């Protein structure tokens, strides 16, 4: 999110979900406490579990203060650790730029494993990525500003990594310049169906 503020329209777009995963850069160096608490209060209106995985900019904020605020709001932070969010869906979150290999619980028959890593390079360095069914990442902003289809980084896209599907998202916020061109912000609604292919819808704006 960086410094971007959620509003009523964003929350209505997300609507009813079982879990919200913020994949990094919830804040940046100049994000105010007021903006952070505003965004947390907006997300809590969804009355669902909220998981945060840190991105590179989160580490440039006051770490003690950030963790204290998130803990006070009952937000789960995953740093090289994982948890079951349902009887059969397991989420593991990596620290940004971490080289530590994920230590995951033994898979149960039919369980669905999700790896969340802010930086796609970190995700791809996970030698046990074959354990996962879905990998969620971002960091690149899809290039943020693209001219004639060209940008400093590739657009958000789907990849196949072994047996896992990987989504590199354009993300929601902006960095430095509050402008996007050719790389619209994204909020992803992922629907998991037993015995079916993962489906995803993308909301822009």
* pLDDT tens string 115-147: 999 888 887 776 565 678 999 988 766 545 656
Q: What is the mean pLDDT of residues 173-184?
A: 61
Higher pLDDT residue, 43 or 158?
Answer: 43
Across the chain, mean pLDDT equals 80
User: Rounded to an integer, what distance in angstroms lies between the CA atom of residue 36 and that of residue 123?
Assistant: 26
pTM metric for this prediction: 0.81
Bridge partners of 92? 82, 115
Bridge partners of 157? 168
Higher pLDDT residue, 13 or 44?
Answer: 44
Q: What is the mean pLDDT of residues 96-108?
A: 63
Q: What is the mean pLDDT of residues 57-67?
A: 93
Task: Provide the pLDDT confidence category of residue 201 given band limits of 50, 70 and 90.
Answer: very low
Q: What is the mean pLDDT of residues 32-39?
A: 95
Please check the confidence at residue 82 and state whether its pLDDT lies above 70: yes
Kindly give the pairing relationship between strand 186-191 and strand 199-204. antiparallel
Domains of the chain with bracketed CATH: 8-204 (3.60.21.10)
Please check the confidence at residue 183 and state whether its pLDDT lies above 50: yes
Q: Which residue has the tokens 């693209």?
A: 146
């Amino acid at each position: 999110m960086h410094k971007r503020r959620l509003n009523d329209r964003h929350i209505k777009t997300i609507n009813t979900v079982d879990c919200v995963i913020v994949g990094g850069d919830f804040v940046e160096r100049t994000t105010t406490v007021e903006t952070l608490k505003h965004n947390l209060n907006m997300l809590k209106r969804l009355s669902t579990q909220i998981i945060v995985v840190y991105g590179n900019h989160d580490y440039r904020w006051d770490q003690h203060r950030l963790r204290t605020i998130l803990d006070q709001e009952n937000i789960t932070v995953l740093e090289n650790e994982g948890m079951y969010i349902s009887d059969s869906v397991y989420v593991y979150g990596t620290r940004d730029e971490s080289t530590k290999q994920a230590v995951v619980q033994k898979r149960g028959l039919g369980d669905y494993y999700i790896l969340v890593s802010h930086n796609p390079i970190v995700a791809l360095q996970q030698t046990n990525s074959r354990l996962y069914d879905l990998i969620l990442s971002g960091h690149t902003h899809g290039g943020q500003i693209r001219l004639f289809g060209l940008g400093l980084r590739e657009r958000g896209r789907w990849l196949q990594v072994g047996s896992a599907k990987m989504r590199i998202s354009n993300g929601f916020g902006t960095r430095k310049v509050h402008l996007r061109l050719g790389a619209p912000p994204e909020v992803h609604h992922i629907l998991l169906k037993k015995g079916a292919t993962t489906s995803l819808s993308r909301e822009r704006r």
